[in-house]
């Protein structure tokens, strides 16, 4: 028996624990294909708004799921047994891809400069940066005296030491106090996104006692460095309060408590350090509250009361407020200003007017300039404005690229940082002089194993939809890859929450593209790739536009000879995993394989469970199936889990994390359990659950690469029908 058969047989034996032993009888000496687990059915009838549905797999949701997120070892035995069997079955089915996975991992690792550092950001007497040493899985947080590249370096935090002995460790945020004497950092040690915040005394090198528990990763020091503010998470993982305490420890005070469990919260300092700012928002409504830095123990003041449908975020610019908002029908947002002492909407004055087709994504302030990032036609540009109102742009004359505004770490400066890359071109980091308009190249991303952008072609297509829209599609391929329909193609999409998909550089994708694949990104509705109205046209009762846009992108790629039906692998994660589930039901004939990462597929059940962290905050995105019968029916009509039916499904890989608070592990588990007996194609339906991670997967940079290599190996395996060759 060779190594592959040994792996396959061993893993299959473990998977078989989910079935009666008699079902696995086989002739002696004959290597049989791995047998998939069969999940038990325990029908549960659910009555809701006069409608009835039956869920056979509700038992997979642990009754004590909140505790499981914080300690995955508490998972109930039958669920753990089933997940273990699913993982074993997938490993057995994909055993033949192990050499490919190993090769791709080494390729991906070889494209990373292991001994690397970020461009230092100057603030006061110091320059702050991160670095990796060879072999590091996690970053080191460093500083050195300003202007002294060869000066004495101080290590603020070694996240490798923090992670030592832990299956998962993720540093969420870091911040130094304005007086540069303290350094705070948040750590998630389970993947549940519930963080612990610690504060380190940089003069003694000691981590102070009295850690902050059950926090979001978001926190801020007061301008006088005496206080720290943070966002608390309740037992269901939702942000519910803003707390304050002395930065070096002491009694905790509630600064603000949010009564609406449908709102997210965050806290930070204004760019000019004059205010602590509390942001409260969901997808369609927001509110800012602020505390003057001179009175850090004061009650927060409402800038402008929340109003359903009105979004705004605020920063302070020396002598006035600067506010980005969609108020007054500014669908793609405008920028207004308001007096420091009278910031209510009645006093708002337009600074940058709304422009159709140009979405204002964000604003960065320094003493004499306002910089904004805009998105139009799935590309970004940066616009600089001085106090006199003169403007100029930073843009790139390419079909598809990404510009990202990094802002500045100091307020009294004329320099801002930005980054540029494209699907074929590694990232360049620039410092830009806002007065002289001169840019200084500070760093070019290195690819140690070698990379020549001229070997690749980046194209931008526009896929027509049935309702007359044009969906941008970014395409990356090697020049040597023919456009005749023969190349396998991976089509990636997301399309929710107004999150755009950047046409950016990824060294990992090259492991497919260099094997003759074409990589395409569909900039579908539901994202803000073509403006905020692009998002608004695919949510709630128009959500299906996201799915039909993705299908239109695939059909256009086929029509233009970039692909052929059945030779495409579809890929998406989280809400993009819902997209995968929907297009898997709607057009299974288009795909050789579907990769659904942490997929939000059990739409009705999830959005009807008010205990889950994201359910109330996301009703504005999807609709409320508890109270709205029309929303229930519409969501039911596309919910991937509920719409599974006998069809010739493609090969499917669903992935998840046991401690994921956003898309809980039981969603992909239930989906796979329902899909496997439904498919009529004979193609495999596989599940991979990371038993030691959450929504983002493994926390170490090399461990994460192994996950990517696994998924890309599945894509190749699906195209080649590897299960037929086992």
Give the active site residues.
574, 660, 695
Which contacts of 408-412 are long-range, i.e. CB under 8 A and separated by 24 or more positions?
Answer: 408/364, 408/366, 409/121, 409/122, 409/123, 409/128, 410/122, 410/123, 410/124, 410/366, 411/271, 411/272, 411/273, 411/318, 411/365, 411/366, 411/367, 412/366, 412/367
- pTM to 2 decimal places: 0.94
- Give per-residue pLDDT as tens, 506-535: 999 999 999 999 999 999 999 999 999 999
Q: Which is more confidently placed, 212 or 149?
A: 212
CA nearest 42: which of 684, 600, 673? 673
Interval 396-419 mean pLDDT: 96
**pLDDT at residue 726 in the model:** 58
Interval 682-693 mean pLDDT: 93
**Dihedral of the alpha carbons of 695, 701, 703, 707, in degrees to the nearest 10:** 60
**pLDDT at residue 393 in the model:** 97
DSSP 8-state secondary structure symbol assigned to residue 525: B
Separation between Cα atoms, residue 378 and residue 360, nearest integer Å? 13
> For the chain, where do the domains classified as CATH 3.40.50.1820 start and end?
3-109+476-724
- Give per-residue pLDDT as tens, 187-216: 999 888 999 999 999 999 999 999 999 999
CATH 3.40.50.1820 assigned to 3-109+476-724: yes
CA nearest 373: which of 332, 320, 427, 330? 332
As beta bridge partners, residue 433 has: 415
Locate 276 and state its tokens.
């602590």
Report yes or no: 479 and 457 within 8 Å, Cβ to Cβ: yes
Lowest mean pLDDT among 37-41, 145-149, 438-442, 450-454: 145-149
Confidence of residue 692 (pLDDT cuts 50, 70, 90): confident
- Give per-residue pLDDT as tens, 287-325: 999 999 999 999 999 999 999 999 999 999 999 999 999
As beta bridge partners, residue 443 has: 429
**Dihedral of the alpha carbons of 673, 674, 675, 677, in degrees to the nearest 10:** 90
- Give per-residue pLDDT as tens, 699-715: 789 999 999 999 999 99
Separation between Cα atoms, residue 508 and residue 109, nearest integer Å? 9
Mean pLDDT, the chain, rounded, equals 94
CA nearest 231: which of 259, 195, 200? 195
Q: Decide if pLDDT at 14 tops 60.
A: no
């Amino acid at each position: 028996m060779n190594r592959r058969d040994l792996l396959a047989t061993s893993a299959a034996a473990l998977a078989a624990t989910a079935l009666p032993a008699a079902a696995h009888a086989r002739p002696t000496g004959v290597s049989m294909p791995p047998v998939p687990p069969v999940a038990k059915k325990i029908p549960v009838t659910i009555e809701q708004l006069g409608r009835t549905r039956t869920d056979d797999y509700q038992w997979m949701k642990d009754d004590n799921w909140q505790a499981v997120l914080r300690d995955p070892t508490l998972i109930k035995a039958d669920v753990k047994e089933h997940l273990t069997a699913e993982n074993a079955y997938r490993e057995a089915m994909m055993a033949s891809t192990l050499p490919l996975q190993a090769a791709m991992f080494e390729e991906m690792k070889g494209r990373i400069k292991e001994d690397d550092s970020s461009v230092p950001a100057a603030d006061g007497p110091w320059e702050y940066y991160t670095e990796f040493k060879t072999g590091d899985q996690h970053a080191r947080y460093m500083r050195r005296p300003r202007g002294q590249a060869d000066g004495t370096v101080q290590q603020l935090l070694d996240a490798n030491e923090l992670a030592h002995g832990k299956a998962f460790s993720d540093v969420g945020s870091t911040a130094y106090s304005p007086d540069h004497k303290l350094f705070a950092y948040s750590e998630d040690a389970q993947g549940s996104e519930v963080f612990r915040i610690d504060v380190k005394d940089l003069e003694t090198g000691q981590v102070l006692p009295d850690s902050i528990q059950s926090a979001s990763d978001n926190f801020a020091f007061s301008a006088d460095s005496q206080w720290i503010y943070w966002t608390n998470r309740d037992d269901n993982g939702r942000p519910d309060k803003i707390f304050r305490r002395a930065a070096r420890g002491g009694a905790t005070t509630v600064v603000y408590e949010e009564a609406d469990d449908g709102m997210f919260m965050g806290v930070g300092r204004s760019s000019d350090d004059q205010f602590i700012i509390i942001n409260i928002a969901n997808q369609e409504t927001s509110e800012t509250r602020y505390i003057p830095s001179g009175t850090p123990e004061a009650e927060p003041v409402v800038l402008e009361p929340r109003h359903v449908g009105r979004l705004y975020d605020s920063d302070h610019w020396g002598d006035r407020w600067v506010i980005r908002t969609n108020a007054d029908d500014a669908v793609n947002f405008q920028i207004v200003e308001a007096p420091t002492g009278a910031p209510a909407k009645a006093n708002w004055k337009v600074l940058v007017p709304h422009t159709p087709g140009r979405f204002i994504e964000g604003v960065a302030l320094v003493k004499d300039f306002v910089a904004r990032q805009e998105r139009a036609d799935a590309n970004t540009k940066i616009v600089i404005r001085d106090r006199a109102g003169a403007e100029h742009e930073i843009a790139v004359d390419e079909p598809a690229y990404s510009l990202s505004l990094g802002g500045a770490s100091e307020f009294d400066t004329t320099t801002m940082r930005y980054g540029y890359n494209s699907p074929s071109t590694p990232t360049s980091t620039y410092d830009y002089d806002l007065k002289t308009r001169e840019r200084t190249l500070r760093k070019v991303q290195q690819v140690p194993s070698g990379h020549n952008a001229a070997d690749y072609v980046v194209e931008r297509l526009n896929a027509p939809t049935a309702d007359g829209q044009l969906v941008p599609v970014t395409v990356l391929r090697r020049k040597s890859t023919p456009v005749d329909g023969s190349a396998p193609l991976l089509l990636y999409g997301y399309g929710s929450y107004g999150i755009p998909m950047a046409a950016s550089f990824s060294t990992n994708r090259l492991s497919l593209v260099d094997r003759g694949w074409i990589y395409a990104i569909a900039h579908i509705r539901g994202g803000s790739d073509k403006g905020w109205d692009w998002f608004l046209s695919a949510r709630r009762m128009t959500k299906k536009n996201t799915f039909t846009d993705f299908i239109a992108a695939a059909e256009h790629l086929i029509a233009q000879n970039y692909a052929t039906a059945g030779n495409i692998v579809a890929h998406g994660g989280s809400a993009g995993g819902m997209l995968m589930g929907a297009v898997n039901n709607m057009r299974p004939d288009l795909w050789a394989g579907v990769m659904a990462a942490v997929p939000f597929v059990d739409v009705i059940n999830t959005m009807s469970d008010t205990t889950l962290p994201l359910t109330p905050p996301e009703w504005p995105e999807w609709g409320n199936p508890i109270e709205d019968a029309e929303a229930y029916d519409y969501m039911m009509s596309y919910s991937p889990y509920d719409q599974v039916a006998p069809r010739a499904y493609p090969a499917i890989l669903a992935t998840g994390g046991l401690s994921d608070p956003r898309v809980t592990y039981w969603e992909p588990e239930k989906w796979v359990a329902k899909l496997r007996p439904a498919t009529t194609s004979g193609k495999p339906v596989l599940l991979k659950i990371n038993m030691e991670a959450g929504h983002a997967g493994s926390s170490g940079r090399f461990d994460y690469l192994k996950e990517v290599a696994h998924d890309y190996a599945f894509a190749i395996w699906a195209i080649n029908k590897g299960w037929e060759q086992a």
